[in-house]
Amino acid sequence: MCDGRPPTQDELPACYSGEDWTDVPLTDFMNCPSNLANNRQVRMLADLSLVGCYNMSSMSELERGRVLLASAKANLRNMAFFGLTEFQRKTQYLFERTFELHFIRAFTQINSTRAASVGISEKVRWRIEGLNALDMELYEYAKELFLRRYQYNRQRQHQEERLRRRQERQKRQRLHRNYLAELLRLGGGGAEEEEEEEDVKVIEEVVTTEDYSSQVVRW
């Protein structure tokens, strides 16, 4: 559907004579100019009304592709979240960070696909890549955007963890200062006061050492 109506038969002629693609050779599949499999991701993400939907006579094929690709990239940028199949763990991490939800199990990375089991020649592969040039460019853009978002969220998480540790350390120090102040108020000065001050220094040194050690592990 585009602008409230499906494409006409003239705008989108069928690529096969049967009910579906069954028994259609790969060569015929690639040779069909109205095959919606070509650059499908760009078409699904873009605003088709910008190019007159399926009316191919509204502009040149080159201009149509340029407009659709720019629209798909803009819509992808505006999505709060998207994932990539080849980065399952990073996709899970971004989802959990974005929506503050946590899965009970880690995502599983599976790199084998049904398509990978089909043997094709280099010439055919180049032809397929050429027919899907817009999708190829969109995917490279999506991967770059995805990894930038991932790195940004990792840095934010590290900053949040450092802030949390600093706040916890400051809280412990405040508790000890309050404890010493209470001892002084109750008259427990002198040697005991000096001993408590030494304890505070030792605790602060331990905290500092622990914080440094955690930084070394992270590095």
d(CA 71, CA 75): 6
Q: Enumerate residues 6+ apart whose C-beta is below 8 A from 145.
A: 76, 77
Q: Enumerate residues 6+ apart whose C-beta is below 8 A from 133.
A: 39, 65
pLDDT in tens, 102-158: 999 999 988 888 878 888 999 999 999 999 999 999 999 999 999 999 999 999 999
pLDDT for res 28: 94
- The tokens for 112 are 């084998």
Q: What are phi and psi of 5, to 5 degrees?
A: -145, 155
pLDDT in tens, 52-89: 999 888 899 999 999 999 999 999 999 999 999 999 99
2: helix, strand or coil:
strand
**Which of the four pLDDT bands, split at 50, 70 and 90, describes residue 176?**
confident
Region 45-58: mean pLDDT is 93
Cα torsion for 83, 85, 89, 90, to the nearest 10°?
Answer: -40
pLDDT for res 1: 87
Q: What percent of the chain has pLDDT over 70?
A: 85
Phi-psi group of 189: left, alpha or beta (phi > 0 → left; psi -120 to 50 → alpha; rest → beta): beta
pLDDT of 197 higher than 70: no
pLDDT for res 13: 92
Q: Enumerate residues 6+ apart whose C-beta is below 8 A from 20.
A: none
